[in-house]
Amino acid sequence: MELHQLRCFVAVAEELHFGRAARRLFMTQPPLSRQIQLLERDLGVQLLERSNRQVRLTAAGVGFLRDARHVLLFAERAGETARSLARGSSGRLSLGFTAVAGYRLIPELVRHLQGALPEVDLVLQEQVTTDQTETLAAQMIDVGFLRQLAPRGPLRGERVWREPLLLALPLGHPLAAQRAVSVRALEHQPFVMYSPGEGRYFYDSIAGLFASTGVRPRFVQHLGQTHSILGLVRAGVGVALLPASAAHLHVDQVCFRPLTDAELHAEVWMAWREDNSNPALPLFLHQARRYFIHDPEAEEAS
Q: For position 118, what pLDDT does the model report?
A: 87
Query: Which DSSP string do the residues of 38-97 spell out, in sequence order?
Result: HHHHHHTS--EEE-SS-EEE-HHHHHHHHHHHHHHHHHHHHHHHHHHHHHTSEEEEEEEE
Whole-number pLDDT of residue 300: 43
Which segments of the chain belong to CATH 3.40.190.10? 92-160+267-301, 164-266
Residues of the chain with pLDDT under 50: 299-302
* pLDDT attached to residue 74: 79
What is the pTM for the complete model shown? 0.66
CATH of domain 164-266: 3.40.190.10
Determine the pLDDT at residue 44: 92
- CATH 1.10.10.10 domain range(s) in the chain: 3-87
Rounded-to-integer distance, Cα 144 and Cα 127, Å: 9
Does the domain at 3-87 match CATH 3.40.50.970? Answer given as: no
At 252, the amino acid letter reads D
How far, in Å, CA of 64 to CA of 74, rounded? 15
Q: Does domain 92-160+267-301 have CATH number 3.40.190.10?
A: yes
pLDDT score at 222? 97
Rounded-to-integer distance, Cα 204 and Cα 216, Å: 15
Q: Which helix (H) or strand (E) holds 165?
A: strand 155-170
CB 168 within 8 A of CB 241: yes
pLDDT digits (tens, 9 = 90+) for 22-70: 999 999 999 999 999 999 999 999 999 988 778 999 999 999 998 998 8
Which residues does residue 193 pair with via DSSP β-bridges, in sequence order? 222
**Would you put residue 181 in left (φ > 0), alpha (ψ -120 to 50) or beta?**
beta
Tell me how far CA of residue 13 lies from CA of 35, 66, 67, in angstroms. 13, 10, 13
CA distance 267 to 159: 7
